[in-house]
Chain A
Amino acid sequence: MYKLNFNFLNKYGGMLLEGMWTTLALVVCCLAIGFVLGTVMALFKQSKVKPLRWFAAVWVDVLRNTPFLVQIFFFYYGLPVLGINTSAPNCEIIRAGLMAVKKDYYECAAALGYTRFQTLWYFVLPISLRVAFKSLVNNFVNLVLTSSVCFSITVVETMGAAKIIVGRVSRPFEVYLLILVCYCIFTYIVSFAAKLIDKKIRIEL
């Protein structure tokens, strides 16, 4: 019988933790980038200017239909690409949120005297984001899981640290099992928090 041996943690636990911090940093940066880009693309897609609509459509289509691994090889340095990759699904999600705001609201805001920009900022975006929140968090979870691929261009995040450790300790089963569990735990916590927040900010349209 194989004896599970987690002793490697004594020596390399720190390294693993550092890797996780890197994942967190990577993910937070790319979350911001991905969100901003996604929103911009969603607004482009709704705009009246045809080239903008076309640009956003191509952006989303290409990013969604090609593998992330290939994307990062292509761009090599990883960080912006993760943000770019996640902006594609974000765009669709935010668009769904934007479309949930019906024409009536735009008209009402116009009748009250708001400019287009004010309408967008005070009403459309808050409502859209509340509607889209659950899906956005879902996408965030995917972002975290996808970030694991970045180790292949030698970014030392969680999987990267894991690979190094496996190289030294030769206990791949325990190491990868532990990582699997860690990702699961993180995902659960995020999903759970999201459910709670979603309950509070839910609005009925």
Chain B
Amino acid sequence: MAMIEVKNVTKSFGTLTVLKNFSVDFTQEGVTVLLGPSGTGKSTLLRCINGLETIGEGDILVNGRSVKEKKNLREIRLDCGMVFQRTVLFPHLNVMRNLTMSPMKLLKTPQAEAEEKARFYLDKVGLLSKEKSMHNELSGGEQQRIAIARALMMNPKALLLDEITSALDPEMTSEVLKILENLAAEGVCMLCVTHEMQFARHVASRILFMDKGSLVADAGGEEFFSTIRKENERISKFLHFIGE
């Protein structure tokens, strides 16, 4: 069974329709990358999946639970961890507390266990030494890596990543992408919206191309960059435009 089922979703902001009768299924495996020009509903789709945006028509089921029912939202959000474009580390807590707070308060994890887990993930993202730092002592790339660790602390079944490197300079971007590659290699299921083509090429097991709110192409990584690209003019133009 697919983990996330998007069924005929239509989403509008006022008169602007961002998602048109959109349907797709995601399984709990591998890295899926959403590509496409700006404003085509990629981020919106992600935000609809974990209930940050309400959908008009259609439905989204996460592990069988409908996004449209408010009581399901908590479970859904525990299943799908999300990392945003602008890092939102809680400013009044140091890194350790940022990481341990949610498991302790929401999953009732005991403190010692939470801290051990936090150190494990800090190590994974390469920032074990920054345990006691405050958010303004960290660079943008470091903050995003902590944000990833924080999302992982909640044992999500999938990570939703919404253009998490778009606000970073190239050096920090590569730090973060490296971490994502490592996580992908370990089998963490990810759903990324990104413009980083190299990353998509190397890591993605599935690529979805969206344009004007609809799904244009849905293929495996290599297949996308070779076959589909040749067949579809729109995609070809897009990839050419961003320098591939």
Contact = CB atoms under 8 A, between A and B. Distances in A.
- Does A touch B (CB under 8 Å) in the complex? yes
Interface of A: 104-105, 107-108, 110-115, 118, 122-123, 126-127, 130, 203-205
Contact of B88 (A105, A114, A204): A105
A130 B91 CA distance: 10
A188 to B, nearest CB: 28
25 contacts: A104-B84, A104-B88, A107-B52, A107-B84, A107-B88, A110-B51, A110-B77, A111-B52, A111-B77, A111-B81, A112-B81, A112-B102, A112-B150, A113-B74, A113-B154, A114-B102, A114-B105, A115-B74, A118-B105, A122-B101, A122-B105, A123-B90, A127-B92, A130-B92, A203-B91
Contacts of B102: 112-114
B77 A203 contact: no
Interface in B55-94: 74, 77-78, 81-82, 84, 86, 88, 90-92
Contacts of A114: 102, 105-106
B92 A112 contact: no
Instruction: State the main secondary structure of chain A at its contact with B.
Output: helix
B136 interface: yes
B50 interface: yes
Contacts of A126: 92
Contacts of B135: 204
A99 to B, nearest CB: 15
Contacts of B50: 111
Given A110-B52, A113-B102, A105 B78 contact: no
Contacts of A107: 52, 84, 88
A112 B52 CA distance: 11
Interface of B: 50-52, 74, 77-78, 81-82, 84, 86, 88, 90-92, 101-102, 105-106, 134-136, 150-151, 154
A104 B82 CA distance: 13
Contact of A113 (B77, B91, B136): B77
B84 A113 contact: no
Contacts of B84: 104, 107-108, 111
Contacts of A113: 74, 77-78, 102, 106, 154
Most buried by B among A118, A122, A205: A122
A127 B90 CA distance: 9
A86 B147 CA distance: 40
B77 A127 contact: no
Nearest to A205: B91
Nearest to A112: B102
Contacts of B77: 110-113
Contact of A105 (B52, B90, B150): B90
A102 to B, nearest CB: 9
Given A122-B101, A122-B105, A112 B91 contact: no
A138 to B, nearest CB: 21
A112 B106 contact: yes
Contacts of B74: 113, 115
Most buried by A among B81, B92, B106, B151: B92
A105 B154 CA distance: 17
Q: Which 3 A-B residue pairings sit nearest by Cβ, starting from the closest?
A: A108-B88, A111-B82, A113-B77
Contacts of A118: 105-106
A107 B50 CA distance: 11
B86 A104 contact: yes
Nearest to B102: A112
Nearest to A104: B88
A104 B84 CA distance: 9
A66 to B, nearest CB: 36
